[in-house]
Each structure stands twice: as structure tokens, then as C-alpha cells.
Amino acid sequence: YQAKRTRSPVTAYEPESDTADRAGLTVAGMLPRAVAEKEFTLEFQPIVNLIDGKPIGAEALARWQHPDRGSVDPRSFLDPIEKSGLLTAFTDAVLDQALDAAKQWKEAGFNWPVAVNISPRSLLDRRLPLLVSARLSDHGLTGADLMLEITEAQTLSQLDIVDKVLAELRELGCALALDDFGTGFSSISVLPRVPMIQEIKIDRSFVNEMEHTPKAAAVVRGTVELARGLELLVVAEGVERESQRRMLWELGCTAGQGHLFAKPMPLSKIMRLPATLAEPLHDPGSVVQMPT
Ligand code: C2E
Ligand code: MG
Ligand code: MG
Ligand code: MG
């Protein structure tokens, strides 16, 4: 019984009630080796056309197989990575794996870009475009094969260096998506100042609440209208139910991502993805019921 409860000698010596801080410290202590030893892997989540359920792209999501803790959530290692000076090495490893995947599915006949999350702090790094360009040519790919998901719209508007980095990434042909839209400060007001953006991703908190909360529904509707006005693609995150898919479609959103269609999966699995991940939407013309 003792052996069953104690998964490894290392965890056995840790206090029972591990605080968040302590967990953070443990993660930070393990990071240099994890980056050096390339313990990070990527999973890929399809992005689909809401009307027919067909994949149109996939987002790369970092996973860390911690020797003692098992799979560690990106939310708990991204912050320490940003603070530790390991961000460039991490971003490089992520780009390398993501482009490797993009290359493989391109050769298999899927015409999808790979979406890679870029930490806001990386946008302050003048060498980022050079890194992206080097990794693209390593894999024989072009900027059109890569979508970069960025956040923190507020810093985007304030820093010249960020503008310069974004402009250079655009010159490489990479598309830029504004991730978690609606959660940052002044995301809407900053958009007209970011003419480089091609896509908005509606944060899953709004998708989750829109059927029952008028304000969440208003944010989704407003975002879709804004995207339309600016001629941007809009992708809804965290679509878990058929009713959400239908409501999003009726609000004018054309693309989505979420457990309804597929969870993040290893490359081997995404290479065997069916041609469609949901039944086509029937009667797509009906009028949406906004919550009251
Ligand atoms: P994100 O870019 O907004 O990614 C979407 C997150 O929503 C992912 O969480 C995904 O697994 C989750 N998700 C997708 N569909 C559903 C759904 O239907 N329901 C629910 N409840 N969740 C869903 P994940 O993989 O834990 O990643 C969390 C965040 O970590 C990402 O949010 C992104 O900001 C960041 N991240 C992940 N990989 C990387 C990376 O390689 N580099 C950087 N800089 N950030 C990353
Ligand atoms: Mg993302
Ligand atoms: Mg997001
Ligand atoms: Mg999100």
C-alpha cells in the first residue's frame, strides 16, 4: 500500500499540502533542464469551419511531461519560463516542433497553417522575426504556413519595438491572431491601431456564458461585428456544445475550436483526423435567441 501511495521517492518527501507557491518554485527549479533536455512536447487542436465541421487549421499547445508530476499545465510553467531567461530557447523549441508538424500534414495533403502561441514578452525581442524566419527555412516552409497567436493588446499599442517586431513578422508572411479577445484591457479600442492583425479569437469565457448571460452574448456579437468590419477571421474558443456552435454561427462567427470538435491531441493522432469533426449544421438560417 505504501508503494502505491508513494509514486516516487522525490514526491514522497514533499509536504502533503503543496502550496501554489511551492509548486511554482518546484517547476521553476526544473525548467532549465526541461528546456535543455527538450522535455516539452506539443499537442494540436483542430480549428474547424462551424458550418460543416471541417478542419481549417490547428493550434499547437505546449505540454510538459514532468518526471514526477506528470503532465504540467502550460499556465504553471509559462510564467516561470518568461521570468527565467529561457523564453527564447522555449519559443525556438515550440516553433521547431510546430513547423515539423506543419510540414508533415502539408505533405499528407492538409492545407492548414499551424497556429503557435507567442508570449507577449517575445514580442519585445528584436530577434524574434529572425528566429521565425530561420525556422521556416529549416523546414522549407513559408510565412503562409504559420499563424502567430498574440495577446496583451494594451502593450501592443504602446511599444514601438512591438510594432516593429509585428511588422517584420508580417513581412515574412505570417498571419497574426489576437488571442483571448475580450479579456485584455482596451482590446477593442486598440484594434484599429493594429492593422497587421488577420484574426480574432473570442475568449472561451464568453462562449461559455453567452447562452445565459446577456453581456457575454453582447461581447460575442460585438466582436463578430467588429471582425466583419475590419475584414478579419473570427474564431470562437472553447466550443463544447452543439447549442454554442449554432448560436455562434447565427451570430456570424464562422470558425471554432473546442472539445465539441476535438481536444488537443498528439501529432500522430491529428495526422489520422477524419475529414469532418461534426455533422453539418442544419437549417443555418434560423434567428438566434439572445438571452434576456
Ligand atoms: P490559449 O492559446 O487560449 O489556448 C486555448 C486553451 O483552451 C488550451 O489550453 C486548450 O486546451 C483549451 N481548450 C480548448 N478547447 C477547449 C474547450 O472546449 N473547453 C475548455 N475548457 N478548454 C478548451 P492549454 O493547452 O492548457 O493552454 C493554456 C494557455 O497556455 C493557452 O491558451 C496559451 O495562452 C498558453 N500556451 C499554450 N501553449 C503555449 C506555447 O507554446 N507558447 C506560449 N507562449 N503559450 C502557450
Ligand atoms: Mg492560443
Ligand atoms: Mg486563446
Ligand atoms: Mg483562451
Decide: 117 in ligand 1 pocket, CB within 6 A: yes
Say which residues have a Cβ less than 8 Å from residue 117's Cβ, sequence separation at least 6: 59, 60, 61, 62, 94, 149, 179
Enter the ipTM: 0.98
Contact 199, 175 (CB under 8 A): yes
| Nearest Cα to Cα of residue 41 among 27, 60, 55, 58 | 60
Measured between alpha carbons, how far is residue 119 from residues 101, 123, 135, 180 in Å?
20, 7, 17, 13
| Cell, residue 84 | 527565467
pTM across the whole model? 0.89
Per-residue pLDDT of 78-114, as tens digits, reads 888 888 889 999 999 999 999 999 999 999 999 999 9
Q: Tell me what pLDDT residue 190 has.
A: 65
Q: Are 218 and 211 in contact (CB under 8 A)?
A: no
- Greater confidence, 2 or 127? 127
Using DSSP's 3-state secondary structure scheme, residue 266 falls into coil
At residue 25, the pLDDT reads 58
Ion ligand 3 neighbours, Cβ < 5 Å? 179-180, 237
Mean pLDDT over each residue of the chain, to the nearest integer: 86
CA of 2 to the centre of ligand 2 (A): 41
Q: What whole-number percentage of the chain has pLDDT above 70?
A: 83
Could you tell me if the CB of 78 is within 6 A of ligand 1? Answer: yes
* Contact between residue 102 and residue 113 where contact means Cβ atoms under 8 Å apart: yes
**What per-residue confidence (pLDDT) applies to 6?**
40
Contacts of 229 (CB under 8 A, 6+ apart): none
- Ligand 1 contact via 179 beta carbon (within 6 Å): yes
The C-alpha atoms of residue 181 and residue 188 are separated, in whole angstroms, by 8
Binning pLDDT at 50, 70 and 90, where does residue 247 land?
very high
Cell of 207: 462562449
Ligand 1 in contact with 209 (CB < 6 A)? no
Give backbone dihedrals phi and psi of 38, rounded to 5 degrees, phi first.
55, 55
